[in-house]
Amino acid sequence: MKQEALKTLENAGYRILGKEGHSAVKVCHWAKKSLLGEGVCYKEKFYGNELGVRSHLCLQLTPSLKLCDHRCVYCWRDIENTASGWEDGVDSPEEILDSALTAQRILLSGFGGNPDVDKQKFKEAQKPRHCAISLSGEPTLYPKINELIEACKSRGMSSFLVTNGLHPEVLENLVPPTQLYLSLVAPDPKTYNEVCMPLRQNGWDKLNKSLEVLSGLGGRRVVRLTLVKDMNLKNPAGYAKMIERANPDFVEAKAYMYVGYSRKRLKMENMPLHQEISEFAKELEKYCGYGVVDESEPSRVVLLKR
């Protein structure tokens, strides 16, 4: 990655990890909010009681910073710096986690002197208990993704892994994380190509194969819909058919958020209101065997469960 791009990431709060520089960590917005007593992320709200996920204990990282075979129009990243193939050396999962934990503590250090910070939470935050492998890029491109999931387990950390579904061959042999997310952002191939701008010509076929693979995997599985108004916030029946094939444990219908580089590609009007997401989720209920069980208005997301 070019030095200018790296500098931009660092100014945005990213810290590059390891010898090879293909990994990064960034303190989540909601981790900071939690430390200040200003709320928690929707993942804690939805899954915290069952899985013990806590926003202030979350380590948000990526093992594949610049690598993704989608260039989604709604992505908050600079997609011009995205590559689709692995060309560099490979850091070990232990190197990535060790440097991520060190960087996270440094990034949080300023909170220690803030009188508004919950002191007990700050102390606990020095030892994250959850790893969100979702910060940037496509993590299944990292050649040692199974070892990374195992390394999290060996440290007593739960793990959420988010994939774009373009690597079904990796999913077939994946060590189950605590929760596996598959992004589904189109109900038909035309919309898929417009929204995801894939770097692989057979992206739609790969995605559909991954949906089939997901249905046979163990562990907790989520299909997440990232919905952009006037682009893919449509055709709930089409989404429902694909969801049923994947047979996930949960479905998250979430609004695109007007942040980062996406503001250069989209307009504020493309960000759905929470009410619009809620209405879409209710339409989705009519076509599949999933019902609304929770929602988070600040994150504009609705949870459905079979």
Indicate the domain borders of the chain: 3-305
Tens of pLDDT, residue by residue over 62-101, are 999 889 999 999 998 887 777 767 777 899 999 999 999 9
pLDDT bucket at 24, cuts 50 / 70 / 90:
very high
Count the Cβ atoms, other than its own, within 10 Å of residue 197.
16
Write down the pLDDT at residue 260: 86
Report the percentage of the chain scoring pLDDT > 70: 99
Distance, in Å, from the CA atom of 243 to the CA atom of 293, rounded to the nearest integer, reads: 17
CB proximity list for 108: less than 8 A, separation 6 or greater? 27, 35, 122, 125, 126
Where do runs of H (alpha helix) occur along the chain?
Answer: 3-11, 29-35, 42-51, 93-108, 119-124, 145-154, 168-171, 189-196, 203-215, 236-246, 274-287
Q: Tokens 């893919």, residue? A: 232
Q: What is the pTM of this model?
A: 0.94
203-215 and 236-246 helices, crossing angle to 10°: 50
Measure the CA–CA gap between 55 and 124, rounded to whole angstroms: 11
Q: Are 147 and 92 in contact (CB under 8 A)?
A: yes
pLDDT in tens, 204-225: 999 999 999 999 998 999 999 9
Q: Do the beta carbons of residue 222 and residue 250 sit within 8 Å?
A: yes
DSSP 83: B
The residue with greater pLDDT, 260 or 163, is 163
Residue 141 has pLDDT above 90, yes or no: yes
State phi, psi for 222 to the nearest 5 degrees: -130, 135
Residue 191 has pLDDT above 80, yes or no: yes
Rounded to an integer, the average pLDDT of 12-30 is: 91
Residues with Cβ within 8 Å of 123's Cβ and at least 6 positions away in sequence, in order, are: none
pLDDT score recorded for residue 227: 98
Q: Taking 80 as the threshold, does the pLDDT of residue 156 lie above it? A: yes
Band of residue 9 on the pLDDT scale cut at 50, 70, 90: confident
CATH T-level fold of 3-305: TIM Barrel (3.20.20)
Task: Give the sheet arrangement for strand 179-183, strand by strand.
Answer: 15-17, 23-25, 58-62, 130-133, 158-163, 179-183, 220-227, 250-255, 301-305, 291-296
Q: What is the pLDDT of residues 222-245, one digit of tens each?
A: 999 999 999 999 999 999 999 999
The torsion defined by the Cα of 97, 99, 105 and 108, in degrees rounded to 10, comes to -100
For residue 60, give the DSSP letter: E
36-104-60-54 Cα dihedral, nearest 10 degrees: -40
Q: Name the pLDDT band for 10 (thresholds 50, 70, 90).
A: confident
The pLDDT score that the predictor gives to residue 266 is 95
pLDDT tens for 240-292 read 999 999 999 999 999 999 998 899 999 999 999 999 999 999 999 999 999 99
Q: What SS3 state is found at 169?
A: helix
pLDDT of residue 84: 67
Q: What is the pLDDT of residue 1?
A: 63
Report d(CA 302, CA 306) in Å as an integer: 14
pLDDT value of position 97: 97
pLDDT tens-place string over residues 94-139: 999 999 999 999 999 999 999 999 999 999 999 999 999 998 899 9
Averaged over 169-195, what is the pLDDT? 97
